Structure 1
Amino acid sequence: MSGGRGARSANGGTSLRDDLIVLSRAIHAAPELAYQERQAVANIASLLRRHGHAVELPHGGLETAFRARVGPKGPSVALLAEYDALPEIGHACGHNLIAMSNVGAFLLAAQRAKDLEVGIELIGTPAEESGGGKIDLIDAGAFKQSVAVLSSHPGGNTWEFGRSSLGIVGRLVRFHGLASHAAYSPHKGKNALTAAIRLFLAVDGWRQHLPADTRIHGIITKGGAASNIIPDLAECDFGLRAADLAVLEEMDATFRRMAEGAAMQTGTTVEIDDKMRLYAPVKPNPRIDALLREEFGRRKIPVEQGGLTLASTDFGNVSQVAPADYIGFPVSTESISGHSHVMREASATDLAHTNAMLTAEMLASVAVRIATDESIRASLA
Structure 2
Amino acid sequence: MSDNRPVTDLASPSGIRTGIRPDRAAPVPGALRHAAPALLAYAAVRALGITVLALWGLATGKDAHHLLAGRWDSVWYARIAEDGYGYTLTLGGGKVHSDLAFFPLLPWLERSLSSVLPLSAADAGLLVSAVSSLFAAAGIFAIGDRLHGRRAGVALVVLWAALPVGVVQSMAYSESLFTALAAWSLYAVLTGRWPAAGVLAALAGLTRPVGAAVVAAVWISAAAVLLRRRPERGARRRMLLGAALAPLGWLAYVVWVGVRTGSPAGYLDVQGGWGNGFDGGLAFGAFIGKLLAGPAFPAGLALLVGVALVVWLYVRGARRGQPLPLLVYSGTVLLLALTAKGYFGSKPRLMLPAFPLLLPLAMALARLRTSRAVLVASAVALGAAGYGAFWLNGSGPP
TM-score, normalised with respect to structure 2:
0.32
More helix by share: 2
Higher gyration radius (CA) = 1
TM-score, normalised with respect to structure 1:
0.33
